[in-house]
Amino acid sequence: MKRNNILVCALMMVMLSCQGQTKVVVKYEQPAPLKDRPEQILHRKGFTISYNNETRNPNWVAWHLTEGHTKGPHQRKQEVFTEDSEVKTPRATNSDYYNSRYDRGHMCPAGDNKWDKEAMRESFLFTNVCPQNHGLNKYEWNDLEILCREWAREYGAIDIVCGPIYGDMMDRKTIGRSKVWVPEAFFKVILCRKGNPKAIGFIYRNEGVKQTMEEAVRTVDEIEALTGIDFFPALDDQVEDRVEARARLSDW
């Protein structure tokens, strides 16, 4: 999405103190601020969340996945899903998912947070979770998560953003007393900045019908148009325009 806005780029940066000097770290994975829906930004150790208190789900979750983050000693079997006390009630709870027929689907997966105990724990907060069809969660979505870890190992690091897509308001489903919105589909966009930068997007319907990865491929431009989210705004405009207009699985 084309823009030339210094303020937007500034919001993608974090100031760190390093031996008495100030170091600017650009958060390439973080989308531009949203103006058309509720948004509460939550900074976690392994990822960043844009939380929507109307849907009780994240608008998006973004993270920088390095090769080192694809492995570690901290396992998900030690964790439990937990309410996020940093967001107001009503908010998603474990009871909302009970008998809902939907999985508690991670956006930033536990498998990307094995490198750190706190990062693993935070990945089980409900602000990083959406109601997800069990078949999608177990198969296609999991396959894409595994592939992203393979790409992080191959390229050294990638930037990832994913989140829910909702359908028509008239057909809106919710679960539980908190009325957590059920997405119609999920998106994921991935950026590799190594060498000649490239990007690719995916959309999977939130259902258990078999969906091939090739059928799910979309350009980042297509997903921006569908979601209204501006991805990778910290990129140079010319680079952004080029990588967001092309999506070929064979390029990866």
Catalytic residue annotation: 106
Assigned token pair, 143: 């396959």
Q: Which two tokens stand for residue 2?
A: 């084309």
> Residue 218 and residue 125: Cα distance in Å, rounded?
29
CA distances from 40 to 21, 47, 51, 145 (A): 30, 14, 5, 25
DSSP letter for 82, please: B
Sign of the torsion angle spanned by Cα atoms 79, 112, 56, 105: negative
Give me the residue label for tokens 């070929």.
Answer: 248
Phi, psi of 230 (to 5 degrees): -95, 105
At 219, the amino acid letter reads T
